[in-house]
Chain A
Amino acid sequence: MATVYFDEATRRFSKDDDAPAVDGITLDIADGEFLVLVGPSGCGKSTTLRMLAGLEPVDGGRILVDGHDQKGVRPRDRDIAMVFQSYALYPNMSAAQNMAFALDNAKVSKAETKQRVAEAAKILELEPLLDRKPGQMSGGQRQRVAMGRAIVRNPKVFCMDEPLSNLDAKLRVSTRSQIAGLQRRLGITTVYVTHDQVEAMTMGHRVAVLRDGRLQQVDTPERLYDHPVNTFVAAFIGSPAITLVESEVREGVARVHGVSVPLDRAVAGRAGEKVVVGLRPESWHVVETPADGARDGADASALALNVELVESLGSESFVYGRPVGADEGTDRVTVRLDKRTHLTVGDTVHVEPNRGEVHLFDATSGERIEA
């Protein structure tokens, strides 16, 4: 178990690269913490993980494990176990041999190796498979052997690089909770890379969002969802995505598609004339009859939407619609409905934003405006 500290860690794939793959990341990971690195493809999350494991050099800054700079420390001397996306099992060895390999290299006694492998196999329910080779196992079984290979070592840090992305949807859900539960039980500091925001939101103590090699925000999943620091994080976290509308602020009131959205006085004071208003799908409620004519502008409080797509998930449904009268280029607004409300494509629905659930961002920088 260990703490991990990224101190302005930077990775450049070529010397004169203006845009490093990992750009000065500073990140403090506590002992026993489960930290998820998340971001779109090519944001540098895997590179960050590989730098920690020693598989990529650190071109600038430092990475400390338990306060020790890892510069020049070989991967095998770091005591870090990694679970790869492809599992990377040794094809010539059985499941038991795969798990015992690291212990064998570390000169752990035969008896203890056997005991630790048996223990890991029990936790992962791999006992009947110990003599099988990876070629004779299903994807989920291989994934568990890869996990077993990491946990028998009892390392300082677990690095996991999208370990669930090759599993089918159902297995992914069950394995997700298994890994999170296992981490809680073992208490080993874990850095987990994923592009799947459900994994990010459900597994980690904290989530670090990366974009173009830069750290955007590190926070608990709840904070990330409720207080995204910029439009990128707001749009990346949450599914379906938040609706972001550029709007003008006048006298403490933002106008979203012609609908007045009153703002907190403190927030309104910090906002410029132009802001980006963010409203999550569940931040709207349907109003039966709009208080006043939705079309006649100035003081409308409800937004009339032309329903263009309905995604019904059974317990809830998501409605994607364009404001009535808006042109084709206008972004759609996403509204979550409970299962009692049924709409079909072509309907018009009137919705009002919930008070206090409005996110406000600066129109030029995209940064959150907060009191």
Chain B
Amino acid sequence: MDIDIRPVRDGIKEASDGNAGRNESTARPNDRANQFRSAKNGAVSNGVNLARMHSQNVNFYYGKSRALSNVNMNIHENKVTAIIGPSGCGKSTFIRLLNRMNDLIANSRLDGKIFLDGKDINAPGVDVVDIRRRVGMVFQKPNPFPKTILENISYGLEINGRKDSGFIRHKVIESLEKAALWNEVKNRLNDNALGLSGGQQQRLCIARCLAVEPEVILFDEPCASLDPISTKKIEELILELKKEYTIVIVTHNMQQAARVSDYTAFMYLGQLVEFGQTEKVFTVPKQKQTEEYLSGKFG
């Protein structure tokens, strides 16, 4: 399937810090990371894909049934990429491949490659724990641990070896502030997290994710179980977070995709039908299927 993913420029200077010009083989890992970061918009330079993440000919199977067919997609730095499509189109399967959550599914098989900063995240020797720390995830149903609000956030720091209580305290506050939850919970950090409302729980899950300093955040239908007011808060939060993080969001809700995303991917029956800037996908879709889905003819 051919999908037009042309480099998009939106005024940000590209590869101006000199690193991008270096030969790959002489670049140290940090330089390489900078090189990818500086190539803001996923430009393909000298045949190397410089998007923050990208998938290459990804096929995915649950047993014998094929859930994804030849998906090639770029996830651009500091942008929100929305994946839309009807139920069962493979959008959740795809997003879960980005932090290897599908590793847990028995009898599943991935064919194809997924790259983070140009490195294959499924290559032998890659630590899955490290991938999951760098690529955080927020799930459909808020899933705070049955612990206190404080412990929910400190857990991620502790398992990553941070024992210093001053640092943990600082990080907890910072994460809750970033997740726009601090003012609501600052006086009850030691209360059970399950006592929070659904929307607050979801923001706590976002804070929990932020605490371990991910680079990419995956949202798998984060508002599916929330009321409109909570949904609005999460959407505002996503727009705020994209300044610092690269974001992918799977959503059932087309309006949500239109409101929060910079890029939109439309998937149908396991295939990536269309990918492009959200504005263009929603106003002048190239594919007939996309247009039909967006106009509510099916889905």
Asked if A pairs with B, the answer is no
